[in-house]
Amino acid sequence: MLFNSLQFLLFFIVVTLSYFSLKWQGRWILLLLASCYFYMVFQPAYIVILFLTIIIDYIAGIWIEKSSGKARRWLLILSLISNLGILAFFKYLGFFTENIASLFDALHMPHIAVTVTEQVNRVFVKVLHVFGQSGISSYKNNMSILPIGLSFHTFQAMSYTIEVYRGNQKAEKHFGIYTLYVMFYPQLVAGPIERPQNVLWQFHDYFKYDVEKVKAGLMQMAFGLFKKLVIADRLAMLVDHAYGDPAQQNGLTLLTATFFYTFQIYCDFSGYSDVAIGAARVMGFTLMDNFQTPYIAQSISEFWRRWHISLSTWFRDYLYIPLGGNRKGELRQYLNMLIVFLASGLWHGPNWTYVIWGGLNGLYQILAVLRDKLLAKMGFSATPPSLVTSPVHDRQSRKTPLRVVVNVLITFCLIMLTWVFFRAHNLHDAFLILQRIATLSISDHIESPMNKVEMWFSIFLIVFLLLKEQFYLIIPTRNTTRFAILFVLITFGTYLFGVFSSNQFIYFQF
């Protein structure tokens, strides 16, 4: 069920009104049933997979808490293997099999490559038949039947068993509440990826109707939909045109499309997060922020403390730090950084474009550390980038306005470069796009399906977004009259200028 649909609007109104009319016992049941329905609208059969992992992790959490010694570790490993195994089967089987087959081909053993491909394909198709996907004839098509939100709720489930193992979270004995923790509909499909310490206790609480939370939540939802429908989907018109067939585009068109995509993906994903956080807030729940004005970051490390925060902190806490973080020497620190970003790239999808995207960001981080250490040795003040420094600290450490502008522009350009690999269909297209951009001519003109008015309006919207975020403008909600006027204006503006198409949220594919 898409947030930007009339179906969701009706769903949200009915669920929210029913929620406030029930006592606690009825509330969690309502939310669980509503979440199941919300998920089944996308892919009914795959809810079986979701419940299978829920049962495994629920039992594992209780047993981990009761066990000691090696038994605890083995129970955690069993839980992690079950989650990662399902994720790997549905999301990465085709990717790994094709690369293994290519390796055998390169070694002049094509018969082995064919055998591996056929056997894996046979197993894949048999499993899909169990879930009613009889029309799929090959694992090569597996992205089209990927259980929606699989990467998100898999990581959220894994965080639960890990935190129970570490002793930071008591095992949840209430099966319905634990199921709701994994399936809570606002953040089920595309996050934020929550931690049990933040969310589980809230499902046990009884939130009274709070008009201020309702107003703040509705306003956040409204602006989230504005970012998605008015900005992201409008920018998508040029982006889809240019990246759909880059061989037919000139350098200026591809550069403009890449610039637009940089804001499209931000408005699309942060817009989803705003709707998710806002919908939860209306009912009294508090979800973590997922974005904190990332495009005004002055360094790559700061950008990653502001972009997709729930995923960045997940990799920090459950991969970077367990690998040793920066505690085992410089070379190990650089290796850990690279591993984290390569894993983040692969998390986004089974394509070498995502791996290179992650690798570039990891390389940026390593070079930033080396640069700051060199500056420190030369006597210049430099704060080495850290995966745990807060954006507040970054703002306090800012220097002259000119230095701020230069740092922001350099960071933005470096990030925009990585988005080429993220958006391109394959490596060939990515390198072609970069080549065309690098060799663009002043005689090039933008070839766009958008007219001049749409182009300038798109640029105006980007400037408006940057100004709002630069000055940390918060839409006021406490004054009821002002709230009502602004809410109506944003809603009317979304209806008037929104691009209403069948575009799903970009991160649904992950």
Contact at 8 Å (CB) between 131 and 48? Answer: yes
Cα separation, 24 vs 119, in Å, equals 51
Catalytic residue at 174? no
Whether the CA torsion 348, 354, 359, 360 is positive or negative: it is: negative
- Distance from C-alpha of 152 to C-alpha of 149, rounded to nearest angstrom: 5
Cis-peptide, bond into residue 401, ω within 30° of zero: no
Q: Which residues have C-beta within 8 Å of that of residue 268, sequence separation ≥ 6? A: 227, 228, 232, 233, 505, 506, 507
User: Smallest Cα–Cα separation from 483: which of 215, 214, 211, 278?
Assistant: 215
* Residue 452: count of CB within 10 angstroms of its CB: 9
Spacing of C-alpha 88 from chain mean position: 18
Q: How far apart are CA 278 and CA 227, in angstroms?
A: 14
283 φ/ψ angles, rounded to the nearest 5 degrees: -90, 0
Report whether 433 contacts 420 (CB < 8 A).
yes
For 345, the token pair is 């790239």
> Do residues 192 and 310 make contact, with C-beta atoms less than 8 angstroms apart?
yes
From the list 332, 330, 329, 360, the residue with the least C-alpha distance to 344 is 360
Cα–Cα distance between 438 and 145 in angstroms, integer?
Answer: 37
Q: How remote is the C-alpha of 271 from its chain's centroid? A: 11
How far apart are the C-alpha atoms of 315 and 297, rounded to whole Å? 20
Place of tokens 């470069």: 417
Output DSSP code: residue 146. Answer: P
What is the chain's percent helix, strand, coil content, to nearest 5? Answer: 75, 0, 25
The angle, 0 to 180 degrees and rounded to 10, between the axes of the packed helices 452-470 and 233-244 is: 120
For residue 52, give the amino acid letter. Answer: L
Catalytic entry in 129, 241, 348, 428: 348
What phi-psi label fits residue 407: left (phi over 0), alpha (psi between -120 and 50 degrees) or beta? alpha
Q: Residues with catalytic annotation?
A: 348
